[in-house]
Each structure stands twice: as C-alpha cells, then as structure tokens.
Amino acid sequence: MYNLLLTLLIIDCILITIAVLMQPSKTNDAMSALTGGADDLFAKQKPRGFEAFMQKTTVVLGVIFFALSLGLVWLSSH
C-alpha cells in the first residue's frame, strides 16, 4: 500500500509541475510602471477558458498531493 501511494504521489508531483508550467503568465511590463498600473483594472476579471481550467486542475492536484502526503505519513507511523 505504501509503494502504491508513493507512486501516485510521484505521478501527482509531475502533473502539478506540468500544470503550473502550462498556466499563462501574468507579468507586469515597464509600461504599467509608467501608467500607474491602470492596466490592472482589467486584470481583475474572472479567468475563462483554458486559464480557468488550469487553475482548477492545479487546485485539485494540490489537494490530491496533500491527501497522499498525509496518507503516507499515517502509513509510515503505523
């Protein structure tokens, strides 16, 4: 059981890394420093499409990572 959870944790770690790297970047350029950050007004919109999917996927994979980690700790202590 321990080996199965450890394998699933390693797979989850790889998937989290891929999901984080696939998310669109939110970089501030030099123009936002000159305009006083007025572009941030439109950046507060809810993510749609691919960006929303990737955020939800990252959250789900993070929860799975946390649960698998707790499961491994519990198994190693018993």
Decide if 73 is inside a domain. yes
pLDDT digits (tens, 9 = 90+) for 38-62: 555 555 667 778 888 999 999 999 9
CB-based contact 72:1 (threshold 8 Å): no
Decide if 12 is inside a domain. yes
| pLDDT over 90 percentage in the chain | 55
As a whole number of angstroms, the distance between CA 19 and CA 52 comes to 12
Say whether pTM exceeds 0.85: no
Overall domain count for the chain: 1
- Mark out the alpha helices in 2-49 (DSSP H runs): 2-22, 30-35, 40-43
Confidence band for 37, pLDDT divided at 50, 70 and 90? low
Decide if 41 is inside a domain. no
